[in-house]
Structure 1
């Protein structure tokens, strides 16, 4: 290790090159505000890392408003239905005709990140990959700073007018941040799989089964995401492919509703369902966005959408402060974002209770309540409109 010198002073220093950091950086660069993004992973890693791909209409509108939707417009696909499979049968909700009659746009997050990186660099932004942020300082002063370390072990201090923490729930910004939070540990774990094969149907499929939840999430014509509820202590590598396909077939009732299209499983991992809400999400000149501001379970595909909308709110506030000298929006950043975050969490929490077998001393009663909710969702137009509005929107 050796300490270098970096005289660079950015107007905004952004930690993390995920959707939140890259959307923020692009909007700022488009407004003529100088930014630097520090990212621990390599460029190849962030551009290949498979994540959720369901974008809400408001997220799509934000990307379009700031000229960030080139790939989305040419390669994105609309998605407007989901299917529930239970012991009582199956039902499909064409949510594009319910509620506000809105649809998702399916565009893999790794493709969106690739687009955003290229555009950020084209706009003159500085992206420092394979650079780890080690320490933040002077967050309540006029010149906050971060100490970072390159892959070669060179440590550099970097100053800025403002710092945006977009480096995830386990990143430096969140670790530095001392704020009240509320959490929910669900004691539910998913085995997350990416399969080189077309989905059985074009819809998202939710399997509500006594053995545990299973889900099919189309990611494209030749790639499918599957989820299997499993023991929290499982090792993903201990699941044989035969066990995986047998479990998926059972929980998705593939015998009745069409055989699964098997293919090579090229990625597997564990997702532990956990939710955390922070309030406020700003301290001094440090502002959080994306997963750093709120850890949300993937049960309703809200994470990337919260990241994009939070980045827009923060970008607008920073532009007003840095170009107009008006810090009102920055002072109200938490007040604008936290209610939206809470609403997304509430629906995610509702989905978790809808999809997973109840546990605990009242599990029999809770199972009856779960069946009642599913029956209402299958038969009540009012319930379906509520579901559609919250499933697609935030």
Structure 2
């Protein structure tokens, strides 16, 4: 598949214009297309970038059910791997939770997000869906009027305009959708968690048969399998650290130390093929709608990666919005569309709460100089309860996998 293979003629209108070809935009596009809704996706990157950009890969059970319900799970069924165990390593030892047997008894499915995106993109294009690559949405205008429009800029610098009845902003926290909401039209809730991670992708087989969370005086370290050959690692780092500051030897030595490789076995080392610093922060906009403009995925709410909720929320929101748009456009019934924001926010805030809990579990909170380490004692109590209390384990499992 090449860009030229899908070099669609210029169209400048659709009933629904979707900004962004990530999981949210492509799930929404596929569902609208199958419902007979005229839609088009505008994506600022090129086709190859969309198909290969690496993101998270943990899919919640409900996300898998949504994709299966709409026949969007062929690759997932063939290549996805169920994960149902996580391991915690602390100064007090290590313990494992088989969360697939706890709480709601649901597993995660590990399926790299770029593979899911490639699947969704192929289905959308093969079904005749319209998508414009290398087309950046600059602004959404007149969303609260009778004729919304999207101003776009092509890769060669030319600008144009798309007309729409509805616009779905699936283009992230820095995209045109969120920028186009007028000041005062939404409430913006923000939190900087004061923690940074060095995110790493290694050409190395997994070293654990579980998701690994290591709590260490030098900082948190995480291990997440992506495939038989690729593993995702995280290392807590100082705020302001540059991604290229640490050498590969320093990275692996820090991972060995924090994951206590001397006690529990060496890590499988390999070439680091991707690295990025992530400052853990959360935000939520309320409501998720301004007139005909709807916010979806990271455009609606940013959630820290501590509990792997972002892509799962995006897929859920896309299904809810597709239901509302279909009812409004095919049946003239706006009821479900009017309920979109409230329905999504209920899930978003629950996910935010659990993500915040996980951040407190995984990271030390420095006490003021001279003060007793009160928060650190609370964190140790949380770990003890998670290790020893069946009730706490059930609560963890239900929220860890659920959205």
Please state which band the TM-score falls in when normalised by the shorter chain. Answer: over 0.9
Counterpart CA distance in 2 for 1:215 and 1:285 is 41
SS in 2 for 1:312: helix
Asked if 1:194 corresponds to 2:201, the answer is: yes
Kindly tell me: are residues 317 and 365 of structure 1, through their superposed partners in 2, closer, same or farther at Cα, counting changes over 3 Å?
same
Name which of 263, 280, 284 aligns with 1:277: 284
Equivalent in the alignment of 1:159: 163
The Cα of 1:363 is off from its aligned counterpart by 6.6
Say whether 1:252 aligns with 2:256.
no
Q: Kindly tell me: are residues 363 and 303 of structure 1, through their superposed partners in 2, closer, same or farther at Cα, counting changes over 3 Å?
A: farther
Cα distance in 2 for partners of 1:389, 1:134 equals: 40
Q: How many residues are matched?
A: 390
Distance in 2, matches of 1:46 and 1:260, equals 31
Contact persistence 2:139–2:179 (CA under 8 A): no
Is 1:365 the counterpart of 2:374? The answer is: yes
TM-score (norm 2): 0.95
Q: Does 1:69 align with 2:76?
A: no
Match of 1:181 among 181, 188, 202: 188
| Aligned positions of 1:1-394 closer than 5 A | 8-177=12-181, 178=183, 179-361=186-368, 364-394=373-403
CA contact (8 A) 2:201 2:233 kept: yes
Inter-partner Cα distance in structure 2 for 1:260 and 1:47: 30
CA deviation profile, 1:164-188 (whole Å, cap 9, x unmatched)? 0000011111111241021110111
CA distance in 1, matches of 2:358, 2:115: 27
Unaligned runs of 5+ in 2: 1-8
For 1:89 and 1:267, the matched residues in 2 are separated by 31
Partner SS state of residue 159, structure 2: strand
User: Which whole-Å CA distance do the structure 2 matches of 1:363 and 1:118 have between them?
Assistant: 57
Deviation per CA, 1:25-82: give whole Å up to 9, x if none: 0000011111111111111111111111111111101111111101001000100000
CA shift at 1:7, angstroms?
5.9
1:236 aligned counterpart, secondary structure: coil
Find the aligned partners of 1:153 and 1:240 in 2 and give their Cα distance.
39
Instruction: Give the gaps of 5 or more residues in structure 1.
Output: none
119-128 vs 339-348, greater mean Cα deviation: 119-128
The answer to which of 155-164 and 135-144 deviates more is 135-144
Would the aligned equivalents of 2:141 and 2:180 in 1 still touch at CA under 8 Å?
no
* Structure 1 residue 381: Cα displacement: 0.3
